[in-house]
Structure 1
Amino acid sequence: MASGNSVRIALAGNPNCGKTTIFNNITGSKQHVGNYPGVTVEKKEGETTFNGQELLFIDLPGTYSLTARSMDELVARNVIINDEPDVIVNVLDASNLERNLYLAAQLIELERPMVVALNMADVAEEMGIKYDIRTLSARTGATVVNTVGRDNVGTQDLLEATVAVAQQGNVTPVKVSYGEILEPKIDELESEIKAAGTITYPLRWVAIKLLEKDPDVVGKIMRIDNTDAVIAKAEALRNELKDQVDLDVVFQEYRHRFALDVYNDMLIQGPTELETRSDKYDKILTHRIWGLPIFMFIMWLLFNFVNTLGAYPQDWLDQGFTALGEWCTTVIPEGQLQSLVVDGIIGGVGAVLSFLPLIVLLFLGISFLEDTGYMARAAFVMDRVMRACGLHGKSFIPLLLGFGCSVPSVMGARILDNYKDRMVTIFVTPFMSCSARLPVYVLFAAAFFPPEMGGTVVAAIYFLGIIFAIIFAKIFRSFIFSGEADPFVMELPPYHMPTLKSIFMHMWERSVLYVKKAGTFILAASILVWFLIAYPQDVQYTQDYDAAREQVTQTYEAQDAAIFAQFGLAAEDQQEAINGIVDEMTAAKEEEDAAAEEAEEDPVELDMAEGAPIPELFADIQKDHEQEMTAAWALYKNRVGMNEEIGVLDEMQASEKIEASYAAQFGKAIQPILAPLGFDWKLGVGLVAAMAAKEVLISTLGTIYAVGGDDTHQQPIVDYLQQDPNFTPLIAVALMVFVLVYPPCIAALAVIKRETNSWKWMTFMFVYENVLAWIAAFIVYQGGLLLGF
């Protein structure tokens, strides 16, 4: 029975059966994601209320079995036997029912009330398949409901059935038979377990698992009091059986036989369409020759879609943060607080958040490809490439997750049963450019390459990562983890058009994590970097800059007076009139420069030489003030000269201040290591800070440039990069390659340590990727110089 007014429901099923779509349909936005206690497997829970009943759904990891071969299978099983959910909802793919019933056979043995969601009923109908669901209900002891998760059909019926089964709380007795030889032994061991009186798990299930010698169950039982006789009895029975049956496979054979019997009993009509729409699509998309080029073309389209479409909202956000920074300079008094808010927080975090549209579009594209079923085909297409370097075809799935984040990518390697395949996959996972690296690539591509080339540059870096992964997987498989790879077996789901709700929920979840990181960790890192750049305050300058600026001002004010005297403008009102015309000319020039920037053109250069005519830009002003214009033009040129000289002094002072900062001191200490790569101290600071999270490289540069830039006129970071004489397109490419290769963030390294259970392997990864990143960037930079770039 459900406890209190809350019903706990475990949602179980094979991968690609539509389980998560049903979960999203039911729980909507009321979801929360964490990890199961003690493991790194993602735990997703969602809540809903139905007919006044509170329901808590637990979306178990998709799995084909409940053995102890992988962490996902173990977690799914332990949630059911330890947490004892009120109901198990087993989602079955109606178009591939025989295969799905194998998991149902194992769920039946856990003796929990069960509801079966016969999903993808529309696909089965399209194939001509007809079932008798009453027979399925009778053979499994479960209430059966037809659903089409993609269209949200049958969801209400499923909720009604789930609540009804939870309220009844009864388990219909159904037994998976293991034949004349095994059944007496199971009964004998079950009696021994019952006599022990201390085991609370389903007794028949424990007996079967002990005879299978399931290591997890054996360990659990050994830790329970008064079970020595049970363990001894199980070992004795195994010794009796080993000459009669193959204990390694016999239990699986009987479960498969049960699944086949249930399938045949309930089948009214088999498939009439021998070739489905998915089969027709697969003839093209998984073609032996064209499959790989098609996949690469789809990836190229994705990155160009992200780069091209995302550029517009990215620019809007960029301009918004720039305007916000300029507004803050007018409302916050000049000083350290203003510098912290404008340069540290807005300059750092704002630079990262401006890339949010790109992250959103990337996750939108990946979610669409996943939900259509194409990503499973991509793993199949890539199998030949993966096998050529000694990897398993299924390794492509966790590697593909790496395009989103390295943490779930490393965790995803658990789907590989072979230890060596799993370790090699973990070691090459960081070559897959995570979403945190994407803003770095886009930033430098936008700063140093034409807009039409941006998407191609970013796609090239991504493909370079794949090439690195293939090469080093081959090296690791040949020298460190040598041995044969397991054969590739994978079930391909049917193609279907994903629901907008499902796609946007995936996109929303991942984008929120990005924003949270920007609002927490990256905020803290930006403030720290600001402090390292803004301090110490007591800098010993090479000259008295305030006195130098005062001297320049006095010199030009004297020249202003000489101009007024030259044109006989002694009266105060005459001088005010000329100053007003100069203000109009200044505003016209600023407006012209802004228009040129918006059109991505170079600003208009005015001929300021002695005797040069008044520029065409000021023709309208000249028409209105024809008599005063000659004097105004002379005064305008004088003011421009003064502003330029003061600007040079400002830049010199800012440069000296930054050069004396703690950050510069640290950057210069490591610069000898990075100098052969063309990197200056600013990049040294950024790359070290970005070990925490790759986006921090952008926030670090944003803060450095903001602190050293114009206090009153903030600029987008792209403009700062383009104006930095220490940057060239070649250095930008070398930097992108370095960021591609060097180790993932601290969180990913922590997960690697946990997954490999070894400080040694985590340290090895950290060292080899740093060394490789340096070598790769050195080859790019020095090779580019030799080629004349």
Structure 2
Amino acid sequence: MELRIALAGNPNCGKTTLFNALTGSNQYVGNWPGVTVEKKEGKLKKHADITITDLPGIYSLSPYTLEEVVARNYLIGERPDAILNIVDGTNLERNLYLTTQLTELGIPVVVAVNMMDVVQKNGDKINIAELSRELGCKVVEISALKGTGILEAAEAAIDVAKNGKTVPMHTFSGAVEHAIAHIEEAAVHEMPEEQQRWYAIKIFERDDKVLEQMNIAADVLAHIEADIKAAEDECDDDAESIITNERYIYIASLMKGCYKKARTGQLSTSDKIDRIVTNRILALPIFAVIMWAVYTISIGTIGDWTVGFMNDTLFGEWIVPGVTSGLKAIGCADWLTSLVADGIVGGVGAVLGFVPQMLILFLLLSILEDCGYMSRVAFIMDRIFRKFGLSGKSFIPMLVASGCGVPGVMASRTIEQDRDRKMTIMTTCFIPCGAKMPIVGLISGAVFGGSAWVATAAYFIGVAAVIVSGIILKKTKAFAGDPAPFVMELPAYHAPVASNVLRATWERGWSFIKRAGTVIVAASIIIWVLNSLTFEGGFHYIGDGDEMSILNVIGEGLAVLFVPLGFGEWQAAVATILGLVAKEEVVGVFGSLSSMANADLAMELVEEGNSAALTVIGQEFFGGSGLAAFSFMIFNLLCAPCFAAMGAIKREMNNAKWTCAAIGYMCAFAYAVSLVVYQLGTLFTGGGFSIWTAAAIVVLIGMLYLLFRRNKYNDNVLAVHASAAQN
């Protein structure tokens, strides 16, 4: 018999960790809300007929955010055979709020108290038997991280799915309970018995979606409204707040008999650490130092050595020459040899050369995430973001986007307000993702000697772009208004778990490698074909000739757009445009073109002891100009993301105009910033004044005006206008 078991719980309670343990999946695990924004399914190990569904983390079944809508719609519409409710044992009282709602759905529930190892370590005690009796359902102890008790939890869920029944708790009292009972009798008696109480409570809360679904007769609705109004008068509050308060009163009484805390009022180790790392003065400098250290290790020291070995030795001296010699030895035509060795191997090799560097970066970021520090960063940034009209919730998608922009954009679903969600989608991809980091590594190695400051600057330029954009956009009518409040449970610090860290590192790294083996291969072939054929003197293969290739002609036409930004070479223009397909292809284009045209210079640089593969690019495509290369990096970091991320933006916006606006804004913002950086940088370094310098000054003045102008759309002005309109 096919059974479906849903995993439900608060954000960061361990659902995805449990899901991975039960199904053998490798879903991403993070220490903040929004890691899971869609339901994910897998088969229980050794049980092909048991489907486990991992739902997004939610605090309640009141659908304020998109992920709450996903979870509620699944539970109400799909009605799984059982719910395995994961609760955080270290925050039992807060987690049980959702439990009280789940037990009212009429679906058998098993409560799995997670993190029991931490509870026991703290000396706290949870009376599982008493908790089970009070909740009216099976309760088990587990530690998803250590894998203890998880099979027992799964078996308990299977058992209740086949045989069990959860009796809803009578959480409410007095006029509230009377009103709910009356609604059950008058309005929802035709619903299945096990669902009646949940629908009655939702009608009491005046849940619009349920009221629309029920289509209650006007006279019945009038009697129900009278009961609700009586309860509101007695409790002196609105219906939804009454239900919330009644639930917490019930939970507080339940906790007295089930939970004993060992150390009341004492600071935990995590609290003591947070006094330093979340300090108002020290928090940002500590964050900056940590990120500098991460990029120094991954890009500057170990990472720089790995890139040099991969590009110069592995591909430059061994693989490419070996492939070339092998193909020539078996009599392959020159064009085929060039296609395979220079086009495919050279292009893909240039991207794969950054894999070790990326893996080191992903490893370090995964360690910071798993130990609990990166969730503190969201808390730290909330303090800054709110000053500029942004919500701290906007930073969570940006943390996710440091691996890939696609899940980063999707994580915007955690934001309740539509305007804030749209603004977050428009700015999330400013943060350098894994696909953009090879561009940073390339510029750092090609022009700046592998300096880690370039990579660190790239990250904080992305953060600054988000803040500046937030200020500018918040002063427009479409985005005006106070940001959504940000409430987030900070997990306790703990030693990174090797399995979690390695899983997260591999997931990000494998995505990078897969794109190199698919999209980059196809793009490298296209680059080689266009760069090896010409229309001069008739359509033919260039070979050793010096005719202008088709790619050269296209690139020259596109390069005009980027001359004011400092990178007017046709190769850089082609790389930038193809970067819209996949950001890694920026490096792939340079790899293909440099391996096809700069062998002599590469040998010369090797003899001088330089990193040939990167220095060739710096010399040939940027003329050795650090300012032009830096401008190129900024533009490619801030402009529209790859096609996959654009697709995610389109899905989340669900509107063609907003999608075009988002992509157009990113491109315009990137162009403006790069123009100002290059032209003013040229002016200050003695490059002289030109018409483009004047244009850059005008653009800078315009951006400063948009930043510092008065916000005529703030709440007070809107309220005044609304009042005037009513009068």
2:448, 2:219 → 1: CA distance?
A: 72
> Do the aligned residues in 1 keep the contact of 2:555 with 2:571 (CA within 8 Å)?
yes
2:187, 2:295 → 1: CA distance?
A: 59
1:253 is matched by which residue type in structure 2? N
1:127, 1:297 → 2: CA distance?
A: 32
Give 2:632's aligned residue: 735
Equivalent positions of 1:466-545 (< 5 A) are 466-480=463-477, 481-536=479-534, 539=537
2:592, 2:261 → 1: CA distance?
A: 68
Secondary structure of residue in 1 paired with 2:429: helix
1:670 is matched by which residue type in structure 2? L
> Cα–Cα, structure 1 residues 268 and 200, in superposed 2: closer, same or farther, change >3 Å?
closer
Secondary structure of residue in 2 paired with 1:431: coil
Give 2:127's aligned residue: 132
> Cα–Cα, structure 1 residues 218 and 362, in superposed 2: closer, same or farther, change >3 Å?
farther
Secondary structure of residue in 2 paired with 1:47: strand
Give 1:446's aligned residue: 445
Secondary structure of residue in 2 paired with 1:89: strand
Structure 2 residue 56 is the aligned partner of structure 1 residue 84:
no
> Do the aligned residues in 2 keep the contact of 1:326 with 1:713 (CA within 8 Å)?
no
Structure 2 residue 359 is the aligned partner of structure 1 residue 462:
no
1:334, 1:358 → 2: CA distance?
A: 35
> Cα–Cα, structure 1 residues 31 and 676, in superposed 2: closer, same or farther, change >3 Å?
closer
Give 1:569's aligned residue: none
1:28, 1:302 → 2: CA distance?
A: 30
> Cα–Cα, structure 1 residues 677 and 428, in superposed 2: closer, same or farther, change >3 Å?
same
1:689 is matched by which residue type in structure 2? L
Give 2:365's aligned residue: 366
% identical equivalent positions: 38
Q: How many residues align?
A: 657
Give 2:586's aligned residue: 697
> Do the aligned residues in 1 keep the contact of 2:565 with 2:678 (CA within 8 Å)?
yes
1:275, 1:238 → 2: CA distance?
A: 47
Equivalent positions of 1:249-268 (< 5 A) are 249-268=241-260
Structure 2 residue 607 is the aligned partner of structure 1 residue 718:
no
C-alpha displacement of 1:746 = 2.3
> Cα–Cα, structure 1 residues 695 and 200, in superposed 2: closer, same or farther, change >3 Å?
farther
2:504 is matched by which residue type in structure 1? H
> Cα–Cα, structure 1 residues 501 and 230, in superposed 2: closer, same or farther, change >3 Å?
farther
Give 2:56's aligned residue: 61
After superposition, give the CA deviation of every residue in 1:157-201 in whole Å (9 maximum; x if it has no partner). Answer: 3344334434x431131324333323344334334565546x798
Aligned counterpart for 1:202 among listed residues 195, 210, 215? 195
> Cα–Cα, structure 1 residues 686 and 111, in superposed 2: closer, same or farther, change >3 Å?
same
C-alpha displacement of 1:26 = 3.1
> Cα–Cα, structure 1 residues 522 and 42, in superposed 2: closer, same or farther, change >3 Å?
farther
Give 1:14's aligned residue: 10
> Cα–Cα, structure 1 residues 788 and 53, in superposed 2: closer, same or farther, change >3 Å?
same
Give 1:668's aligned residue: 556
2:662 is matched by which residue type in structure 1? M
Give 2:102's aligned residue: 107
Of 263-272 and 281-290, deviating more is 263-272
Secondary structure of residue in 2 paired with 1:249: helix
2:438, 2:193 → 1: CA distance?
A: 52
1:528, 1:235 → 2: CA distance?
A: 69
Over aligned residues, Cα RMSD in angstroms? 3.0
> Do the aligned residues in 1 keep the contact of 2:426 with 2:666 (CA within 8 Å)?
no
1:393, 1:697 → 2: CA distance?
A: 32
2:103, 2:231 → 1: CA distance?
A: 26
1:84 is matched by which residue type in structure 2? R
1:200, 1:340 → 2: CA distance?
A: 70
1:200, 1:512 → 2: CA distance?
A: 49
> Do the aligned residues in 2 keep the contact of 1:81 with 1:201 (CA within 8 Å)?
no
After superposition, give the CA deviation of every residue in 1:566-611 in whole Å (9 maximum; x if it has no partner). Answer: xxxxxxxxxxxxxxxxxxxxxxxxxxxxxxxxxxxxxxxxxxxxxx
Structure 2 residue 305 is the aligned partner of structure 1 residue 305:
no
TM-score when normalising by structure 1: 0.77
Secondary structure of residue in 2 paired with 1:128: coil
> Do the aligned residues in 2 keep the contact of 1:9 with 1:85 (CA within 8 Å)?
yes
Give 2:345's aligned residue: 346
1:109, 1:534 → 2: CA distance?
A: 69
1:326, 1:314 → 2: CA distance?
A: 18
TM-score when normalising by structure 2: 0.84
Give 2:354's aligned residue: 355
1:187, 1:378 → 2: CA distance?
A: 46
> Do the aligned residues in 2 keep the contact of 1:30 with 1:47 (CA within 8 Å)?
no
> Cα–Cα, structure 1 residues 15 and 330, in superposed 2: closer, same or farther, change >3 Å?
same
> Cα–Cα, structure 1 residues 269 and 484, in superposed 2: closer, same or farther, change >3 Å?
closer
Of 421-430 and 691-700, deviating more is 421-430
Of 93-102 and 701-710, deviating more is 701-710
C-alpha displacement of 1:439 = 0.4
Aligned counterpart for 2:164 among listed residues 167, 170, 190? 170
Aligned counterpart for 2:572 among listed residues 671, 683, 689? 683
1:530 is matched by which residue type in structure 2? W
Of 461-470 and 424-433, deviating more is 424-433
C-alpha displacement of 1:293 = 0.8
Aligned counterpart for 1:148 among listed residues 130, 143, 152? 143
After superposition, give the CA deviation of every residue in 1:124-144 in whole Å (9 maximum; x if it has no partner). Answer: 234332121111111223322
> Cα–Cα, structure 1 residues 386 and 439, in superposed 2: closer, same or farther, change >3 Å?
same
1:310, 1:218 → 2: CA distance?
A: 59
2:205 is matched by which residue type in structure 1? E
1:165, 1:772 → 2: CA distance?
A: 56
Secondary structure of residue in 1 paired with 2:433: coil
Give 1:402's aligned residue: 401
1:129, 1:88 → 2: CA distance?
A: 26
1:208 is matched by which residue type in structure 2? I
Give 1:757's aligned residue: 654
Secondary structure of residue in 1 paired with 2:583: coil
2:222, 2:124 → 1: CA distance?
A: 45
Give 2:24's aligned residue: 28
Secondary structure of residue in 1 paired with 2:673: helix
C-alpha displacement of 1:445 = 0.5
2:52, 2:353 → 1: CA distance?
A: 35
2:267, 2:391 → 1: CA distance?
A: 28
2:564 is matched by which residue type in structure 1? P
C-alpha displacement of 1:540 = 6.8
Secondary structure of residue in 2 paired with 1:413: helix
Structure 2 residue 312 is the aligned partner of structure 1 residue 334:
no
Of 304-313 and 369-378, deviating more is 304-313
Give 1:628's aligned residue: none
1:340, 1:537 → 2: CA distance?
A: 19
After superposition, give the CA deviation of every residue in 1:310-332 in whole Å (9 maximum; x if it has no partner). Answer: 33443443333333222222233
Secondary structure of residue in 1 paired with 2:52: strand
After superposition, give the CA deviation of every residue in 1:396-437 in whole Å (9 maximum; x if it has no partner). Answer: 211222212222222222222233332332222122111111
1:315, 1:175 → 2: CA distance?
A: 65
Please, which runs of 5 or more residues in structure 2 have no aligned partner? Answer: 30-35, 233-237, 607-611, 688-727
Of 178-187 and 364-373, deviating more is 178-187
Aligned counterpart for 1:279 among listed residues 244, 257, 271? 271
> Cα–Cα, structure 1 residues 359 and 54, in superposed 2: closer, same or farther, change >3 Å?
farther
> Cα–Cα, structure 1 residues 179 and 231, in superposed 2: closer, same or farther, change >3 Å?
farther
**In terms of Rg, which structure is larger?**
1
> Do the aligned residues in 2 keep the contact of 1:176 with 1:255 (CA within 8 Å)?
no
C-alpha displacement of 1:443 = 0.7
Secondary structure of residue in 2 paired with 1:183: helix
